[in-house]
Amino acid sequence: MNLQETYTALGLSDFEYDRILELMGRAPNYLELSLFSVMWSEHCGYKNSRPLLGRFPNSGPNVLQGPGENAGVVSLGDGWALAFKVESHNHPSAVEPYEGAATGVGGIIRDVLAMGARPVALLDSLRFGPLDEERNRYLFREVVRGIGGYGNAVGVPTVGGEVEFARSYSGNPLVNAMCVGLIRTEDLIRSRATGEGNLVVLIGSKTGRDGIHGATFASDELSEESEAKRSNVQVGDPFCEKMVIECCLKLLQERLLVSLQDLGAAGITSSASEMAAKGGVGIEIETEKVPLRESGMEPYEVMISESQERMLAIVEPEKLENVLDAAERYELVGAVIGRVATHGDLRVIHDGEVVGSVPAEHLADAPVYERDVRRPAYLDEVQKLDVVALPQPQDYNATLLRMLAHPNLCSRRSIFEQYDHEVGTDTVVAPGADAAVMRIKGTKLGFAVTTDGRGRHCYLDPRGGGAATVAEAYRNLSCVGAEPVAVTDCLNFGSPEKPDAYYQLAACVEGMAEACEALGTPVVSGNVSLYNETDAGAVYPTPVVGMVGVFGDVSRHATLGFKREGDEVVSLGRLWQPSLAGSDYLEIIHGKVAGAPVRPDLATDMFYCDLVRRLVTEGIVDTAHDVSGGGWLVALAEMALAGGIGIEVNEFLVGIISERRADVELFGELSGHFLIVAAPGRWDDLQNTLGEAQVPYDQVGAIGGDSVVVPGLVDVSLDELREAYDRDLFGAHDGSEAAG
């Protein structure tokens, strides 16, 4: 290959190569080009998204560490803190779904570990094409198997997540994994390298050729050639990862490490250059000292290998023996592979000869692109919706059953039963609720966590959808009674080089930022995954939000299932103003992805969320659920199924429904709407509190019986509902999947 072919094959543009020449003052060799190619990839360098990410608020009263480290950290109370982050492993999962998903879990665990935190909870956010296509069924099955296979074996519970299906994700699934870790605030560690002469120690597994140029691969569009890039996908070993976790936590407990960094995308290159750049120092790596699991690896391969289960530590020389002894006790590789220097370069040495040297600050500072923005022409067409022209259901029983049976609304039990959510014995509210709830042993404290994404909404209205994604997470945490404190995000979009796609990204970020500011939930960490498209087109713009909330007393939490016969269900919030625009009902029943969904009223949403949370915290309410996908009737059915008790809607509400269009009232969607039930003996307190707050509410009906009944419209037994709802998604290929 000639020079241009060489750097182009490494994912570098002409402009980027010219900039390298300017920065270096000379032509780089192949190894140095490889270092730039991985560090200046979108996956590592955020060169297309950095101009937008500054829009996010990053500070708040609970924030101990914002963006710029391996994970964000927020205070929990009494000296406890949570470290958390979400990341994508989309392209690896598209070509090797089991290992792609498994190593995505392993990587996000190490990000949290690098902050000094013990990983205590995992969540995921998944998107696939319709299950009537064999390839999509294969990807779905193997991704879930990979998440469970790694998480279960490493001993970190998978406590929550979400999954949706739509045509736009065919061939390009989205696989986002989130991890939460627990740490004492005084034990928080950063990844900055310091101290001339301090040693660079590799801890974990040996290095192989798996994952070479994985960061570059993750920053390309998928094509027919992508299948040939299976070698770019890492191979995980969760049992080794468990030893890495325990070893590193032991070393940190004994104050044996100066700093710690995981080896993920770009391997030793990213870890060493980022540690050096943050500390304003240089790092020298001697590649022949890196323990290898296969012979004949070139220095550039050693530097950019993305072999899993590896951590890079900076160690003072006098503490080295203790560090290596600990690694040996945990049956891990422990090897000195370099040293900290003052020259500011990432210097690669092989057999005593310098084979490459690049200033670390140049590697860690990828070029930034200001892309053209153009509002997509499709928006003018898809936002049109004539509800009057839509035929109304002839059989509302059948409509409800069809809604509940759809893969986007049915039970996720067939997924989360493959995950161990009880390991560690700290899970208070298990998967299937609005948010997972975890306790902190030996204290009253706890936390809740959720992942949410609204790809269809963001496709129809990027800015409104971005805000709605954050608002949905805020509502889910409020339903269980947790105070939302901070956000991590994963931005899954198409090619930023296309003005339409960049508009989607920019507009979604703006909407998310507005919501985070209004709701007081700063963004403390995150990930960007661009170029999510195939020859058939881009995925829906799909920002995913992971949000964490805290409990002062975790025993004061709510769940969504009905609990007692005779209790009255209360509808709280913006009732009877729903819309079919962009709704699940419109897509499932009418096969349309259309309309301009109503944007969330963030101030009103926050008011109702805070009110619900107060009611739960004070013990007045013990059952709560937000009205979201599928609308009001689907939410009622979910609560009935979760509790195993039916409900009959009262005549007053039936009268309101009958005066209007019933399908809009029953299945329309709008944010800021909750269904709540008073705890035993607290009905008067609930009424008094709502009256004092001067909020409108409606009594929906009394819990009881074995059916969900809306007199004159719906009368379906729980057995029928459960048969539809509890479908096995892994056997779902009957053509009922989302067509959008």
DSSP letter string, 208-276:
-STTTTHHHHTTS---GGGGGGGGGS----HHHHHHHHHHHHHHHHTT--SEEEE--TTHHHHHHHHHH
- Given a cut of 90, is residue 627 above it in pLDDT? yes
- Residue 5, C-beta contacts closer than 8 angstroms, at least 6 positions apart: none
Note the pLDDT of residue 606: 95
Note the pLDDT of residue 266: 86
Note the pLDDT of residue 234: 65
Q: Which of 93, 328, 100, 126 is nearest to 236 (CA)?
A: 100
- Given a cut of 60, is residue 398 above it in pLDDT? yes
What phi and psi, each to the nearest 5 degrees, are found at residue 698?
Answer: -130, 140
**Single-letter amino acid, residue 225:** E
- Given a cut of 90, is residue 672 above it in pLDDT? no
Name the pLDDT band for 723 (thresholds 50, 70, 90): very high
Q: What is the distance between the alpha carbons of residues 370 and 382, in angstroms, rounded to a whole number?
A: 28
CB 675 within 8 A of CB 570: yes
What DSSP state is assigned to residue 103? H
Residues 576-579: contacts with CB under 8 Å, at least 24 apart: 576/656, 576/660, 576/665, 577/670, 578/631, 578/632, 578/664, 578/665, 578/667, 578/668, 578/669, 578/670, 578/673, 579/664, 579/668, 579/669, 579/670
Lowest mean pLDDT among 182-196, 268-282, 646-660: 646-660
Q: What is the distance between the alpha carbons of residues 110 and 663, in angstroms, rounded to a whole number?
A: 47
- Given a cut of 80, is residue 59 above it in pLDDT? yes
> Within a 13 Å sphere around the CA of 71, how many CA atoms are in the beta-carbon half?
34
- Between the two ends of the chain, the Cα-to-Cα distance in Å is 43
- What is this structure's pTM? 0.94
Name the pLDDT band for 370 (thresholds 50, 70, 90): confident
- Other beta carbons within 10 Å of 98: 21
- Show the tokens assigned to 235: 């191979």
- Give the chain's mean pLDDT: 93
Instruction: State the DSSP string of 342-405.
Output: SS-EEEEEETTEEEEEEEHHHHTS-----------THHHHHT---GGGSPPPS-HHHHHHHHHH
Structure confidence by residue, pLDDT tens digits, 133-179: 999 999 999 999 999 999 999 999 999 999 999 999 999 999 999 99
Name the pLDDT band for 670 (thresholds 50, 70, 90): confident
Note the pLDDT of residue 422: 85
- Residue 578, C-beta contacts closer than 8 angstroms, at least 6 positions apart: 631, 632, 664, 665, 667, 668, 669, 670, 673
Handedness of CA 635, 641, 643, 649 (dihedral sign): positive
Name the pLDDT band for 225 (thresholds 50, 70, 90): low
Q: What is the distance between the alpha carbons of residues 330 and 579, in angstroms, rounded to a whole number?
A: 57
- Given a cut of 50, is residue 229 above it in pLDDT? no
Note the pLDDT of residue 733: 62
Note the pLDDT of residue 302: 95
- Segment 307-329 mean pLDDT: 97
- Given a cut of 60, is residue 736 above it in pLDDT? no
Give the active site residue among 43, 213, 350, 406: 43
Structure confidence by residue, pLDDT tens digits, 562-587: 999 999 999 997 555 799 999 999 99
What domains can you pick out in the chain, each with its CATH number? 1-39+189-366 (3.90.650.10)
- Show the tokens assigned to 285: 């790596």
- Given a cut of 50, is residue 419 above it in pLDDT? yes
27 vs 2, more confident: 27
CB 181 within 8 A of CB 118: yes
Structure confidence by residue, pLDDT tens digits, 512-521: 999 999 999 9
Percentage of the chain lying above the pLDDT 70 cut? 95
Q: What is the distance between the alpha carbons of residues 72 and 319, in angstroms, rounded to a whole number?
A: 28
In 145-204, DSSP assigns E strands to: 158-165, 174-184, 199-204
CA angle, 231 then 232 then 236, to 5°: 85
Name the pLDDT band for 731 (thresholds 50, 70, 90): confident
Note the pLDDT of residue 259: 96
Bridge partners of residue 573, in order along the sequence: 673
Name the pLDDT band for 222 (thresholds 50, 70, 90): low
- Residue 582, C-beta contacts closer than 8 angstroms, at least 6 positions apart: 456, 457, 460, 461, 593, 594, 595, 596, 597, 669
Note the pLDDT of residue 226: 47
**Single-letter amino acid, residue 87:** E
- Given a cut of 60, is residue 629 above it in pLDDT? yes
Note the pLDDT of residue 219: 43
- Given a cut of 50, is residue 216 above it in pLDDT? no
Name the pLDDT band for 680 (thresholds 50, 70, 90): very high
Give the active site residue among 89, 362, 457, 673: 89
CB 15 within 8 A of CB 7: no
Give the full edge-to-edge strand order of the sheet including 568-573.
621-626, 673-678, 568-573, 697-703, 647-649, 707-710, 714-717
Place of tokens 């570990």: 113
Percentage of the chain lying above the pLDDT 90 cut? 86
- Other beta carbons within 10 Å of 324: 18
Structure confidence by residue, pLDDT tens digits, 421-457: 888 889 999 899 999 999 999 999 999 999 999 999 9
What phi and psi, each to the nearest 5 degrees, are found at residue 619?
Answer: 75, 10
- Residue 406 a catalytic site member: no
Q: What is the distance between the alpha carbons of residues 171 and 536, in angstroms, rounded to a whole number?
A: 9
Note the pLDDT of residue 322: 98
Lowest mean pLDDT among 208-217, 543-552, 676-685: 208-217
Instruction: State the DSSP string of 513-552.
Output: HHHHHHHT--EEEEEEE---EETTEEPPPEEEEEEEEEES
Name the pLDDT band for 215 (thresholds 50, 70, 90): very low
Distance of CA 507 to the CA centre of its chain: 19
- Given a cut of 70, is residue 732 above it in pLDDT? no
Handedness of CA 662, 667, 669, 670 (dihedral sign): positive
Structure confidence by residue, pLDDT tens digits, 103-143: 999 999 999 999 999 999 999 999 999 999 999 999 999 99
- Segment 658-669 mean pLDDT: 91
Give the full edge-to-edge strand order of the sheet including 259-262.
259-262, 310-315, 199-204, 333-341, 282-286, 345-350, 353-359
